[in-house]
Amino acid sequence: MREWGLGFNRYFEKWMFLIIPGSLVLGFAGGDALLPMVGAVPYLFAFVTFAMAIGCGLRELSGVMKKPGVMGLTFIIAHIVSPLAAYGIGSAVFGADSPYVVGLVLFTIIPLGVSTVLWVGMSGGSIPLMLAMVVLDSLLSPLVVPAGIHLFFDTTAQVETWPMMVDLIVIIVLPTIVGVGLNEWSKGKAQAALKPYTAPLSKLCFVGVVALNAAAISPYMEQLKKDMAVLVPVVVLLVGLCYALGFIGTSAAKDSKVQITVSYATGMRNISLGIVLALGYFSPLAAVPVVLSILIQQPIATAHHYILQKINKDKTSARGGAHVG
- Report the Cα 70 to chain-centroid distance in Å: 19
Cα(8)–Cα(3) distance, integer angstroms: 8
Nearest Cα neighbor of 266 from 144, 102, 110 is 110
Name the CATH architecture for the domain at 2-8+37-215+226-311. Up-down Bundle (1.20)
What is the arithmetic mean of pLDDT over 125-141? 79
- Contact at 8 Å (CB) between 212 and 84? no
pLDDT tens profile 159-191: 556 666 677 677 777 888 888 888 888 887 887
Highest average pLDDT, of 163-177, 184-198, 234-248, 306-320, comes from: 234-248
- Where exactly are the structural domains of the chain? 2-8+37-215+226-311
Identity of residue 195: K
| pLDDT per position as a tens digit, 266-280 | 998 877 677 777 777
Helix residue spans in 54-188 (DSSP H): 58-65, 68-76, 82-94, 99-109, 116-123, 127-153, 161-168, 174-185
pTM: 0.71
The pLDDT value given to residue 233:
93
Q: How far apart (Å, rounded) are the C-alpha atoms in residues 282 and 95?
A: 17
- Read off the pLDDT of each residue in 37-45 and give the average, rounded to a whole number: 81
Compute the mean pLDDT over every residue in the chain, rounded to the nearest whole number. 80
Q: Is the pLDDT of residue 157 over 60?
A: no
Predicted local confidence at residue 75, as pLDDT? 92
Q: Do 265 and 130 touch, CB atoms closer than 8 A?
A: yes
